[in-house]
Amino acid sequence: MSDLKTMMARFAHPGHVDAIFLRPARRLQPEPVQTATLTDAGLDGDHGRPSKRALTLIQAEHIPVITALSGSSDVSAQILRRNLVVSGLNLIAFRGQRLQVGPTIIELTVPCHPCSRIEELLGHGGYTAMRGHGGFCACVITGGEIALGDPVTPLGNRTP
């Protein structure tokens, strides 16, 4: 029988990038792209800046949950305003850890809580529906080119 620390370090398989979105300025509609360059300020062409919030990620598996809780007929990844949509990994299990996304390395830093604008986009109760399902912010450790379908692999190193 494995101990808890060993079990917590395991993952079934790498995840992958399902979508990439750029927001050139605040309040603009995120635009889907096939590839993007990741720098210390986040995605090139996005309005991010170097910080623990340079990049935002959400799990594809949470989008149907947000849809159900919001009462909306359909919630798209684009409307949720995150840079990367990933699937196949439970992001919360890797908070404070580094992930390799294609050739790049990021570090999950803090939960990415919904902003007040989400109520405008999802309707009454949209903010509450997204709480706990908004994904994570990340800082960029090593930049490079990322693309749809790139693997997302935990590197197993928790920061202090």
The answer to whether the CB of 158 falls within 8 A of the CB of 97 is yes
> In this structure, what CATH number is given to the domain that contains residue 47?
2.40.33.20
User: Does residue 120 lie in a domain region?
Assistant: yes
- pLDDT, tens digit (0-9, with 9 covering 90-100), for 65-75: 999 999 887 88
Full DSSP string of 29-65: PPEEESEEEEETTEETTSS--SSTTSEEEEEGGGHHH
b (16+ CB within 10 A) / e for 101-137? bbebbbbbbeebebeeebbebbeeebbebbeebbbbb
User: Does residue 5 lie in a domain region?
Assistant: no
**pTM of the complete model:** 0.91
In this prediction, residue 72 carries a pLDDT of 84
User: Does residue 10 lie in a domain region?
Assistant: no
User: Does residue 74 lie in a domain region?
Assistant: yes
Instruction: Choose the weakest-confidence range: 60-64, 111-115, 137-141.
Output: 111-115
- pLDDT, tens digit (0-9, with 9 covering 90-100), for 45-59: 998 788 999 999 999
Strand partners, 33: 20
Q: Please count the structural domains in the chain.
A: 1
Q: CB atoms < 10 A from the CB of 64, how many?
A: 11
CA distance 122 to 72: 7
Domain with 149, as residue range(s), is 17-158
Strand partners, 93: none
Residue carrying structure tokens 């007929």: 73
